Structure 1
Amino acid sequence: MTEASKLTSEVRLLAAIAYGESSTQDKYEEMAALASVMVRQMKARRYSTIDAFTSKDKNFSFVRTDGNARYTMLMKATEKGIEKSPAMSNAVKAARNAFAGGTDYSNGAYFWDGADIKSNYKNHAKVRSGIHITDPAHNIYGISDSGKTRILYKTVKKKVDGHVKIVQEEIGRYSWVYESSAGVGGTIFWRYGRDWVTVTRAKEYK
């Protein structure tokens, strides 16, 4: 049996998403990392299949609906055609690796970005929220950290000198929302910073 033969619809779909979302470098490790993030997100959001996940949660991966040529190419390819293409064969291998819980080249990421984080740096949503590159090896686009210390407060009533006063008490502070977990091919992978998750009680996958 070849790597591309006897594709299930789920493997084909995940492979096509990883192929469509990855850069044209066609690196196996990049596609495998993307596939691992998709499976992690699927499980975190309590979907049983990638099809259900990407059909219901259309904002996570746009390649199913935005006319992505690479996604369409793999979805329409025959198994023989996939077998003849090293890049598409690697995408299938990447999907199978993710479903099997194999090597996670994203290092536990829940999010990713491609070249647009550099080209649209000033207006990029993650940059505006605060990013931190944890390892120079992740910084494939040579971008700068955008984190700054933010303090969250809550309003409480306190008795001061016999009088009740409304005061602001610090809940906690954080310096960035997103921290890099890997840089593979043309993709930077992210997870939420621990301080931000603790202070905001956020879900790691949302």
Structure 2
Amino acid sequence: MMDSTKLTSEERLLAAIAYGESSTLDQYEEMAALASVMVRQMKARGYSSIDAFTSKDKNFSFVRTDGNARYAKLMKAAEKDVERSAPMSDAVRAARNALSGGVDHSKGAYFWDGADIRSNYKHHAKVRSGIHFTDPAHNIYGISGSERTKILYRTVRKKVNGQVKTVREEVGRYSWVYESTAAAGGTIFWRYGQDWMTVTRAKEYK
């Protein structure tokens, strides 16, 4: 259960996001992992608070604006009711753990997916980009990886046998964009694969 320290607005907001984004399994590790990803993304994107992050960058977590019932429940709940609810208390513990730099149950993730990755598998953006499970235990929905080697080229002009010709040179190759870091409750956690990061020079949080 949560300690009796009065909830700050930041703690309540992050707890509500983690509670709203998590599955109804109400697992602490899942909520803690989600909270850790939110804090990592907040810092990576240069925000000083979860409130500023989720107010200005509305595309990362939709629970503040999409009518998520679990999010609304925790945001509106009196502190005594939060304390009496084991799942909401765990969400607060998860938020406090992430904000204080505690155990990262996401194992360094920057992204996550829930059950929609199975129900919308064929059209899912991550699946279409390429996903790879680094551990079979992360594949909680029993879906297939979508690895496929892709080669990036650049066009350059070179002098060949005294003549200037336009040729294609390989820049690099990768087999997936997203690789799993962990799974908890109903959520799979992801980060970008190193090969894709190297080839595209992408930022690890975008």
1:118 paired residue number: 118
Identity of aligned residues (%): 79
Residue pairs, 1:125-136, within 5 angstroms: 125-136=125-136
Give the AA of the match of 1:14: L
Residue pairs, 1:10-159, within 5 angstroms: 10-159=10-159
TM-superposed deviation, 1:3: 2.1
Q: Post-superposition, which runs of at least 4 consecutive aligned residues in structure 1 deviate over 3 A?
A: none
1:173 paired residue number: 173
Q: Distance in 2 between matches of 1:52 and 1:101?
A: 19
User: Given that residues 4 and 89 in structure 1 are in contact (C-alpha distance below 8 angstroms), is that contact kept between their aligned partners in structure 2?
Assistant: no
| Structure 1: gaps spanning 5 or more residues | none
User: Given that residues 5 and 83 in structure 1 are in contact (C-alpha distance below 8 angstroms), is that contact kept between their aligned partners in structure 2?
Assistant: no
Equivalent pairs counted in the alignment come to 205
TM-superposed deviation, 1:36: 0.1
2:189 paired residue number: 189
User: Given that residues 154 and 168 in structure 1 are in contact (C-alpha distance below 8 angstroms), is that contact kept between their aligned partners in structure 2?
Assistant: yes
TM-superposed deviation, 1:61: 0.1
For residues 104-159 of structure 1, the C-alpha deviation after alignment (integer angstroms, 9 at most, x for no partner) is 00000000000000000000000000000110010000010101000000110011
Change (3 A) 1:165 1:113: same
User: Given that residues 152 and 171 in structure 1 are in contact (C-alpha distance below 8 angstroms), is that contact kept between their aligned partners in structure 2?
Assistant: yes
TM-score by length of 1: 0.98
Give the AA of the match of 1:69: A
Q: CA RMSD in A?
A: 0.7
Q: Distance in 2 between matches of 1:4 and 1:171?
A: 56
Q: Distance in 2 between matches of 1:130 and 1:56?
A: 28
User: Given that residues 149 and 176 in structure 1 are in contact (C-alpha distance below 8 angstroms), is that contact kept between their aligned partners in structure 2?
Assistant: yes
User: Given that residues 4 and 82 in structure 1 are in contact (C-alpha distance below 8 angstroms), is that contact kept between their aligned partners in structure 2?
Assistant: no
TM-superposed deviation, 1:161: 1.3
Q: Distance in 2 between matches of 1:118 and 1:73?
A: 27
TM-score by length of 2: 0.98
1:161 paired residue number: 161
Give the AA of the match of 1:189: F
| Structure 2: gaps spanning 5 or more residues | none
Q: Distance in 1 between matches of 2:106 and 2:116?
A: 19
For residues 3-46 of structure 1, the C-alpha deviation after alignment (integer angstroms, 9 at most, x for no partner) is 25410000000000000000000000000000000000000000
Change (3 A) 1:65 1:4: farther
